[in-house]
Each structure stands twice: as C-alpha cells, then as structure tokens.
Amino acid sequence: MEHEPFEFGRRPELAAELAELDEPGVAGGRVVAQHSGRWLVNMVGSETEPQLLSARSRLRQDPPTVGDWVAVDPEGAIVAVLARHGVLVRRAAGEATAAQVLAANVDLALIVEPLPDPNQRRLERLVSIAVADSVPAALVLTKADLDPDGDATAARLARQLPVTSALAVSAVDRTGFDALLKLLEPGTTAALIGRSGAGKSTLVNTLLGVERQATQPVRASDGRGRHVTVTREMIALPGGALIIDTPGLREVGLWDGAQAVFAEIDRLAADCRFADCQHESEPGCAVREAVDPAELAAWRKLAREQEELADRKAVAAERKERSRTLSRRIKAMKRADRHH
C-alpha cells in the first residue's frame, strides 16, 4: 500500500470500519470484477494478485458488486460489504422489479455518448442514474474526430443537464484527453456508462496506452454496437485513478428519481396555476410555453415510468412481507415440533 497509496481508491476509515464489524481476523479488499457467483477481490496490504472469492450465503440478498469494499475472513470468504458511498443503480432489464447496482463507491460517473449525434433523451436517463445517488456526472462525447462541432455540442448539452463538466474526446487523435485526465485525480473511482458502441472500452485503452479491453466496430447497417464488453471491471490507470468499464446498456431503466435532471421543469412548475398541473392543456400553465416540447415529452414519459415503478415496488414489498411472515410461521412450527 505504501508505495502506491491509491491503488485501491480512497477509503480512509477502512481499518476502523473493519474493526466495527466484530468479525475476528477480517481483512479489507475491493471488488474488481465478478464471475458467476464469485468475486475477484484485490486485498489491501497484500502483495498477491486479486483473489477469486466466494461470499457467505447471507449476502445473497444484496451481493457484492464491482467497486465494493468488502471484509474477507481468514478462510477467504467475503463476510460483509462495507457501506456504499455513491452507487450507480438501474432497474434490472426486463419486467422484474429489481434494482441492479452497476457499480459501487463511484466518485465520478463518466456519461459516454458518441458524436456526431449525441442522443439527449438517452443522456437524460444516463445522467439520472448518477444524480439519483448524488454521484457527480461528467459528460464525455466520444468520436470528436467525426464532428467538427463537438466542443460546442458538449457546451450546449452541459447547460441542459446537471453535469459538472462536459468534453469532446477522440481516441483517434487524442483530442480532449488532457481535460479528461484532469478529472481523473489519483484515488478517484470513475465509472463509464453509455450504450454499446459508444467507445467506452476504447477510452479505457487510450487512457492505459494498451489494448487491454476488446473493442469492435459498430454495425454498419444500423450503427448499433455489438455488446462487446460483457462484464463490469475496475481497472487501475497509470495516474492513480480507477476506472470501471461496463457493458453497453440496452435499456436505461431508472430506479430512482429523475427529478434533478428536469430541475428546470420543476422550478417553472411552481408558477403553474394548479399544484398538480401536468403541463398538458391546463390553463395558467407556466411550463408548456417555456420548455421544448420534446423535453417535456421526455419528462412526462419518465414521470409515468416512475409512477408505474412505484406501484410495482409497493406490490413487491407487500409480497416480500407476506413470504417473510409465512417463513417465520414455518420456523415457529418446526421449533414447536422439535419440542414434542
């Protein structure tokens, strides 16, 4: 640890956190990848390569994820996941009412979208994933070599989204990488999110200076990516930052509020005549005139999605409570049996 103080990212209170667990002999580590029910963990204070470890069954409900700080017992099993600071969560793909934690302990979300035609609707969703847990988000528009107006587009989008910065980069001519490196201070954990083919893995390779991550051209027919990256993985950069490469998101289902992204609509809505104004055809609406109709439509779609999700969360919580009561009853019955 001494020679490379930021090899794992920042966790200044690690020793105290481990001591508080009341699990004798545990060591700290950080999850760098996940492979079918096992986790690749970089152990703090150990010279060894990352270890592929299993986790205690009680962690099944809320398993470790990439970026997690974990406690490992002397037998080499993960016994606890330490408190997460800054998670990227999305609704799991499909109909399930489940959250998928994409990455934990993220200091900076790099929202990746390619030039020349960055999709603002997708960006709103991607940025929402970050701001939902107050993770600072920076917009990274890739493939700037394909668009002479990349910087202007980045500046325009930065005014419309709650991002801390926005830049246009090119892996082909290395435009923008100096600015990107400034965001990646030593000890920072950054995570890339964006659609397949956006250039996330290419960005990692360019930062590393080696072709570590596999990349593939987008399909010529429709410009879509080929879902080349299939696992999430945390990679140490030469400058002392860590970067999490992720598979392209097919569906950006939101798990938590998108309100921050549409702060402007909320602010204007305070002047609508009706408190529950939907900004459709209500008289005295302060939003309809002031906001781009496409943006308003995006807001409406997200609001509806969030409502549906809230319903489904409520149903799922009820179902869980019912099954918990049932299993408590079964346990009590078994106990009673033993006593006879």
Ligand X SMILES: Nc1nc2c(ncn2[C@@H]2O[C@H](COP(=O)(O)OP(=O)(O)OP(=O)(O)O)[C@@H](O)[C@H]2O)c(=O)[nH]1
Phi, psi of 319 (to 5 degrees): -60, -40
Please, what sign has the CA dihedral across residues 287, 137, 132, 193? positive
- Please choose which of ligand X, Mg ion, Zn ion, none residue 272 contacts, taking the beta carbon within 5 to 8 angstroms, the exact cut-off set by kind: Zn ion
Among the listed residues 191, 196, 254, 268, the single contact to ligand X using CB under 6 A: 196
Q: How far is the CB of 62 from Mg ion (least distance, A)?
A: 27
Binding to ligand X (CB under 6 A) within 244-273 occurs at 247-248
Q: 290, exposed or middle or buried, with CB in 10 Å at 0-12, 13-18, 19+?
A: middle
- Please choose which of Zn ion, Mg ion, ligand X, none residue 287 contacts, taking the beta carbon within 5 to 8 angstroms, the exact cut-off set by kind: Zn ion
- Please choose which of Zn ion, ligand X, Mg ion, none residue 279 contacts, taking the beta carbon within 5 to 8 angstroms, the exact cut-off set by kind: Zn ion
Taking the least distance from each CB to ligand X, the nearer of 7 and 145 is 145
Q: Report which DSSP code applies to 271.
A: T
Binding to Mg ion (CB under 5 A) within 217-236 occurs at 228-229
Residue 314 interacting with ligand X (CB under 6 A): no
Binding site for Zn ion (CB under 5 A): 272, 277, 279, 285, 287
Q: How far is the CB of 264 from Zn ion (least distance, A)?
A: 13
Residue 171 interacting with ligand X (CB under 6 A): yes
Q: How many residues does the chain have?
A: 340
Residue 189 interacting with ligand X (CB under 6 A): no
Residue 205 interacting with Mg ion (CB under 5 A): no
- Please choose which of ligand X, Mg ion, Zn ion, none residue 146 contacts, taking the beta carbon within 5 to 8 angstroms, the exact cut-off set by kind: ligand X
Which residue of this chain has its Cβ atom nearest to ligand X in the complex? 248
Q: Which candidate, 237, 142, 147, places its Cα nearest to that of 183?
A: 237
Residue 228 interacting with ligand X (CB under 6 A): yes
Region from 118-126, 219-227, 252-260, 268-276 binding ligand X, contact rule CB under 6 A: 219-227
Taking the least distance from each CB to Mg ion, the nearer of 175 and 216 is 216
β-strand partners of 190? 108, 243
Task: List, in order, residues 6 or more apart from 226 with CB less than 8 Å away.
Answer: 196, 197, 216, 217, 218, 219
Taking the least distance from each CB to Mg ion, the nearer of 153 and 215 is 215
Q: How far is the CB of 13 from Mg ion (least distance, A)?
A: 34
Taking the least distance from each CB to Zn ion, the nearer of 180 and 285 is 285
Tokens representing 40 are 């690749």
Helices (H), the chain: 14-20, 120-131, 150-160, 177-183, 200-208, 263-269, 293-338
Do 299 and 257 contact (CB within 8 A), yes or no? no
Residue 229 interacting with ligand X (CB under 6 A): yes
- Spatial distance between the Cα atoms of 305 and 255, rounded to a whole number of angstroms: 10
Tokens representing 3 are 């020679």
Taking the least distance from each CB to Zn ion, the nearer of 179 and 277 is 277
310-336: string of b/e by CB count within 10 Å (b at 16+)?
eeeeeeeeeeeeeeeeeeeeeeeeeee
Q: How far is the CB of 287 from Zn ion (least distance, A)?
A: 4
Residue 201 interacting with Mg ion (CB under 5 A): yes
Residue 197 interacting with ligand X (CB under 6 A): yes
Do 147 and 153 contact (CB within 8 A), yes or no? yes
Among the listed residues 109, 193, 201, 298, the single contact to ligand X using CB under 6 A: 201
Residue 206 interacting with Mg ion (CB under 5 A): no
**Helix-then-strand count for the chain, H and E:** 7, 13
Q: What kind and span of H or E run contains 139?
A: strand 137-142
Residue 102 interacting with ligand X (CB under 6 A): no
Contacts to Mg ion by CB under 5 A: 200-201, 228-229
Contacts to ligand X by CB under 6 A: 142-143, 145-146, 170-172, 194, 196-202, 215-218, 225-229, 247-248
